[in-house]
């Protein structure tokens, strides 16, 4: 039908026929081009879909293997205690007993050493993999990454003590050759002791600020743990980390929590504290004197400290931080009033004279209270009167607390 219709339209005249054919040919050619373009388009779509398919297949495989892994039984974590020949090793699982097992061929024999942690198959206890060395997250938490803000300039008085601690801690870290030349061994550890609130923690923080050493800070009570052997392990990991990161300063604040003298007491809690102390002693003995690890301890109860901690080779430089005298108090007041707006009537010497027996923390509180009084009285500068009221207020608060609780000294 179509053919016949077309034929009927076909021109008879050769001229027209020629034009008509030319027309048709051009038309066909453009059509051809169009179709080719479409083919290309479709082919590229096809390719795209194929890669897409491959991607999804890969994803499916990955998810399947993930599911497989999630379904596989857990591995036991153990420690290698001995390496025998022929791929046999002795392991101790976390549960306690020791086993002789085989190790996987895929493990680098170099890494198979006593003391490393490994994973064990649940049934055969074969060593599957070696785990990287790890420290307790708690130990990492002790590292002070940003150095503290305090500097020696923030400490009022205590010039002698600052000098001593610089000699004992900074000098061996910065200029070890001085000690070598003279042929003496620098102190290993420094113990700061004195009444509460006199600036022991402050001093240690300032030392950390002024040296470039890594600073590990731990409070004695953090080392007292719930389970047997945990405290000792923490101490061991702390010292390991210190050695690895050296130069390092370890600061153990309130060391009396673990360092109290060993008694005959028999509660298991006390024994755990003693185990921790013994690990601490062993750790301190393990350092080279000229090494890059220094220990600073701080306590306000030196009287209850175990003598073993204080013998030479451990905390062999003992620095007393006493309650400030008049000059000391003036210096501390100067530090804390540095940024305060004082009027002409204030004499720091007079205030120092009126605060006999107060420590640095009290003086800081007095300065703050004086500022509060000034604010309450709607003045911009702090006057002598504000300070006198503040001294009275702090004195009263202090007495009330001491008589009510009686725990003041213990938890200061
Ligand atoms: N000598 C001092 N110079 C300046 N401020 C001090 C001084 N002693 C104590 N302080 C203030 O008291 C606060 C508590 O002191 P701190 O070092 O924690 O006492 P402790 O000796 O109990 O560790 C410090 O943050 C600081 O503001
Ligand atoms: Mg302190």
Q: Residue with the nearest Cα to atom 19 of ligand 1?
A: 197
Token representation of residue 280: 């601490």
CA-based Rg of the chain, rounded to a whole angstrom? Answer: 39
Q: Ligand 2: distance of its center to the CA of 4 in Å?
A: 111
Q: pLDDT (tens digit, 9 = 90+) per residue, 40-51?
A: 999 999 999 999
Query: CB–CB of 165/319 below 8 Å?
Result: yes
State the closest ligand 1 atom to the C-alpha of 324, by its place in the atom list counted from 1: 1
Asked whether the predicted pLDDT for residue 1 surpasses 70, the reply is no
Q: pLDDT tens digit string along 191-245?
A: 999 999 999 989 988 888 888 788 888 888 888 876 777 778 888 888 888 888 8
Least confident among 147-151, 256-260, 261-265, 309-313: 261-265
Whether 348 and 370 have beta carbons less than 8 Å apart is answered as: no
Preceding amide of 247 cis, omega within 30: yes
What's the CA-to-centroid distance between 277 and ligand 1, angstroms? 27
Nearest protein CA to atom 26 of ligand 1, as residue: 361
**Closest listed residue to residue 120, CA positions, set 82, 79, 68, 66:** 79
State which residues have CB under 5 angstroms from ligand 2, the bound ion: 201
Band of pLDDT at residue 117, cut at 50, 70 and 90: confident
Ligand 2: centre distance to CA 357 (Å): 18
For residues 167-184, average pLDDT: 86
The verdict on the CB of residue 297 being under 6 Å from ligand 1 is no
Q: What is the pLDDT of residues 276-289, one digit of tens each?
A: 888 888 888 877 66
Give the closest ligand to the alpha carbon of residue 202.
1
More confident residue, 225 or 346: 346
Residues 342-354 have a mean pLDDT of 90
360 ligand 1 Cβ < 6 A: yes
Mean pLDDT (whole number) for 325-345: 92
Tell me the mean pLDDT in the region 59-74.
Answer: 92
Mean pLDDT (whole number) for 244-258: 86
- For ligand 2, the distance from its centroid to the CA atom of residue 297, given in whole angstroms, is 10
Task: Render pLDDT for 178-194 as a digit per residue (tens, 0 to 9).
Answer: 888 988 888 888 999 99
Confidence bin at 307 (pLDDT 50/70/90): confident
CA of 202 to the centre of ligand 2 (A): 7
236 lines ligand 1 (CB under 6 A): no
Residue 93 has a CB neighbour count (10 Å cut-off) of 16
Q: Tell me the backbone φ, ψ of residue 310, rounded to 5 degrees.
A: -95, -5
Which atom, in ligand 1's list, is nearest to the CA of 150?
A: 25
Per-residue pLDDT tens over the stretch 371-381:
999 999 998 99
Distance between CA atoms of 14 and 229, rounded to whole angstroms? 112
Closest ligand 1 atom to residue 321 Cα is: 21
pLDDT score recorded for residue 279: 84
How far apart, in whole angstroms, are the C-alpha atoms of residue 82 and residue 78? 12
> What is the whole-number distance in angstroms between the Cα of residue 142 and the centre of ligand 1?
21
Higher pLDDT among residues 286 and 345, named by residue: 345
Distance (Å, rounded) from C-alpha 246 to C-alpha 292? 5
DSSP string computed for 248-305 = EEEEEESTHHHHBPP-S---HHHHHHHHHHHHHHHHHHTS-TTSSEEEEEEES-GGGB
Both structure tokens of 172: 């061996």
Ligand nearest to the CA of 321: 1
The Cα 351–Cα 389 span in angstroms is 11
Q: According to the model, what pLDDT value does residue 29 have? A: 96
Q: State the CB neighbour count (10 A cutoff) for residue 284.
A: 22
The answer, yes or no, to whether any atom of ligand 1 lies below 6 A from the CB of 201, is yes
- Tens digits of per-residue pLDDT, 153-165? 999 889 999 999 9
Q: Whose CA is nearest to atom 16 of ligand 1?
A: 199
The three state secondary structure string of 87-118 is CEEEEEECCCCEEEEEECCCCCHHHCCCCCEE
């Amino acid at each position: 039908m179509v053919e016949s219709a077309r034929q009927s339209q076909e021109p008879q005249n050769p001229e027209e026929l020629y034009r008509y054919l030319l027309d048709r040919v051009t038309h066909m050619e453009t059509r051809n081009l169009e179709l080719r373009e479409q083919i290309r388009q479709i082919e590229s779509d096809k390719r795209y879909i194929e890669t897409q398919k491959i991607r999804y297949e890969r994803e499916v495989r990955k998810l399947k293997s993930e599911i497989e892994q999630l379904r596989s039984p857990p591995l036991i974590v153990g420690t290698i205690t001995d390496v025998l020949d022929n791929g046999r090793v002795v392991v101790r699982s976390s549960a306690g007993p020791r086993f002789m097992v085989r190790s996987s061929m895929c493990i680098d024999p170099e890494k198979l050493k006593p003391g490393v942690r490994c994973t064990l198959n649940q049934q055969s206890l074969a060593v599957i993999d070696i785990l990287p060395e790890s420290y307790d997250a708690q130990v990492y938490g002790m590292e002070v990454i940003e150095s503290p803000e305090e500097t020696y300039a923030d400490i009022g008085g205590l010039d002698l003590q600052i000098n001593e601690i610089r000699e004992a801690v900074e000098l061996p870290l910065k200029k070890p050759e001085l000690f070598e030349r003279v042929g003496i061994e620098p102190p290993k550890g420094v113990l700061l002791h004195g009444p509460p609130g006199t600036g022991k923690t402050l001093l240690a923080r300032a030392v950390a600020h002024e040296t470039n050493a890594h600073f590990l800070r731990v409070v004695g009570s953090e080392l007292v743990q719930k389970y047997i052997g945990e405290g000792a392990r923490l101490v061991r990991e702390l010292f390991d980390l210190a050695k690895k990161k050296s130069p390092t300063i370890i600061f153990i604040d309130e060391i009396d929590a673990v360092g109290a003298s060993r008694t005959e007491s028999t509660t298991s809690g006390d024994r755990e504290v003693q185990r921790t102390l013994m690990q601490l002693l062993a750790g301190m003995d393990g350092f080279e004197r000229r090494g890059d690890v220094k220990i600073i301890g701080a306590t306000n109860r030196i009287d209850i400290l175990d003598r073993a901690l204080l013998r030479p080779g451990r905390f062999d430089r003992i620095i007393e931080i006493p309650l400030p005298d008049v000059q000391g108090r003036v210096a501390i007041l100067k530090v804390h009033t540095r940024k305060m707006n004082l009027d002409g009537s204030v004499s720091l010497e007079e205030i120092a004279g009126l605060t006999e027996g107060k420590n640095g923390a009290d003086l800081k509180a007095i300065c703050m209270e004086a500022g509060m009084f000034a604010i309450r009285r709607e003045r911009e500068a702090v006057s002598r009167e504000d300070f006198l009221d503040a001294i009275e207020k702090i004195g009263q608060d202090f007495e009330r607390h001491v008589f009510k609780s009686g725990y003041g000294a213990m938890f200061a």
